[in-house]
Chain A
Amino acid sequence: MATRSVIPFGPQHPVLPEPIHLDLVVQDERVVEAIPQIGFIHRGLEKLVEKRDFNQFVYVAERTCGICSVGHGWGYVSATEKLLGLEMPRRVEYLRTILEELSRIHSHLLWLGLLADAFGFEALFNHCWRLRETILDIFQRTCGGRIILSIMIVGGMAHDIEDTELKAICDQLESLKCDYQQIVNTMMGDSSVKDRLCGVGVISFEDAHELSMVGPFAKGSGVEHDMRTTGYGAYGDLEHFEPIISNECDCYARCKVRCEEVYQAIDIIEELVAKMPQDGIGGKPKAKVVPEGQSHVLIEQPRGEAFYYVRGNGTKYLDRFRLRTPTSQNLGGLVKALQGVDLADVPMIILTIDPCISCTER
């Protein structure tokens, strides 16, 4: 029986651009226990709601995380709009949904690249990120920014996206599909990739349910939980929507779910562009103060379900903004998945939950 030793992982580690610290208790190359330590990116963003009025806070909310910035902006504005009792034009909901799905594609491509990097397939890493530039290019053309878009305001959109532009987006996505298929073929079919992914980091359906995991991490374990099925935004207008599920419960399953979700996102965008209503893009709300009361919104981010809560107190400042992000839900599952694995598989298992530490710690 070998003695136990502790290997520190992070906060500065090549596999993750973000800082998280794990104390890995190891015995003979096997991880016995993983103890996470967080707080390296904690800024105290939620408290800032007391110093910025409800219109200004959109910009802070968007900067919760650079990868899912669209979703955070959307979550905040729709929770505030609900509190103010505003009804959004359908076009606004459609445009927001399209942007969210675009950001899902960009987030998943980014993640696929990082995964390829984690198991040492650098060419695939570069290829994924090259494809991702297509989406960033669309963002830059339509919104002005590559990462932080700042196109959503409380009460609508800051500016419209023309119909001709939307058609061009569809064409671009159609041409992206072809290149993307090649990546998926490698990710799903290559035997060296399969060797690293199949049967690694298994989380059973029961565990996933018990630890209330969300997003592709849960979907990879067969949990059918996707907030888009509730039909918020424009998802209710889709002909057919079904979350993508896989029952293998390992790293390969999570990878498969994300690969498929990109195709699904492209289909959603194409369907919404074809149905785009023409009823204006709203504008800044007339209300100068937020009424007393509270409201909440649940949306499906690329990483899973996110919860937004706002409470007003009759002034132009909100009383409280609360955000529960998918990664904080999934950290419990991560610690569970790390128990008993080989030390060499640790980076990959950490990556397959797609951790977004910036969101988690805010």
Chain B
Amino acid sequence: MAYSSKSPWLIHYDGSSCNGCDIEVLDAMMPLYDIERFGIINTGNPKHADIFLVTGGINHQNINVVKHIYDQMLEPKVVVACGICACTGGVFRDCYNMIGGVDKAIPVDVYAPGCAVRPETIIDAVLKAVEILDQKAAKLAESRK
């Protein structure tokens, strides 16, 4: 069983962000913001994760990587787009190699804007994602009856 809304596990992938959002995602787990007090742990294994944090937009090279990580996660799962590039493409939307936001590749549940996204926003977004995770789990249980 991979799912637990009391202590969901995160996986983070850097799409084509400038790194700013990535270090803020890591920062949210550090002593000052400490997302771990909600029982949330960062994992490197997609099969263990419930919440997928993507920073940066989607380009032609990484679109399959993002899809692949998403496919490896077990249901129920939630995707959070961290930072404005992950939401819409942001400042790079006109670049030739960019396809756009993360929603061009996989379905996104929570959008957390900002450049770079602030750790407070990430915590907010993750807590919102936990609610959605609960709803999805309930729906899944319903369908299995």
Contact = CB atoms under 8 A, between A and B. Distances in A.
B27 interface: yes
B22 A17 contact: yes
Given A11-B65, A63-B20, A44 B95 contact: yes
A14 interface: yes
A63 B91 contact: yes
Contacts of A59: 91
A18 interface: yes
Give the interface residue-count category, chain A: 35 or more
B12 interface: yes
Interface in A45-84: 45, 47-48, 51, 59-60, 63-67, 69
A41 interface: yes
A356 interface: yes
A42 B32 CA distance: 32
B97 interface: yes
A191 to B, nearest CB: 26
B116 interface: yes
Given A12-B13, A19-B14, A40-B61, A356 B118 contact: no
A38 to B, nearest CB: 9
B18 A17 contact: no
Contacts of A17: 12, 14, 19, 22-23, 25-26
A147 B65 contact: no
A126 interface: yes
B96 A148 contact: no
Contacts of B31: 126, 129-130
Main secondary structure of the interface of A (DSSP, over half): loop
Contact of B17 (A51, A129, A145, A358): A358
Contact of B61 (A39, A110, A146, A356): A39
Contact of B18 (A39, A65, A126, A146): A65
Nearest to B15: A41
Nearest to B115: A148
Contacts of A47: 95-96
Give the interface residue-count category, chain B: 35 or more
B52 to A, nearest CB: 11
Contacts of B11: 12
A41 B95 contact: no
A13 interface: yes
A165 interface: no
Contact of B116 (A42, A60, A64, A147): A147
B11 to A, nearest CB: 8
Contact of B23 (A19, A60, A110, A357): A110
A43 interface: yes
Contacts of B23: 17, 66-67, 110, 147
B30 interface: yes
Interface string A142-170: 00011110000000000000000000000
Nearest to B31: A130
A237 interface: no
B24 interface: yes
B3 interface: no
A64 B20 CA distance: 10
A28 interface: no
Contacts of B24: 146-147
Contacts of A357: 19
B76 interface: no
Given A12-B65, A39-B61, A110-B23, A48 B18 contact: no
Given A66-B19, A66-B22, A129-B27, A43 B95 contact: yes
A74 to B, nearest CB: 16
A145 B21 CA distance: 12
A356 B56 CA distance: 15
Contacts of A171: none
17 contacts: A12-B11, A12-B44, A17-B25, A19-B65, A40-B62, A41-B62, A42-B61, A43-B95, A47-B95, A63-B18, A63-B91, A65-B18, A65-B20, A66-B23, A69-B20, A129-B31, A358-B19
Given A41-B15, A42-B97, A67-B20, 20 more contacts: A11-B65, A14-B43, A17-B12, A18-B14, A41-B17, A43-B59, A43-B92, A43-B97, A45-B92, A48-B94, A60-B91, A63-B91, A63-B92, A64-B18, A65-B20, A66-B18, A66-B20, A146-B118, A147-B116, A356-B19
- 5 closest cross-chain pairs (CB), A and B: A66-B20, A14-B44, A66-B19, A147-B116, A147-B20
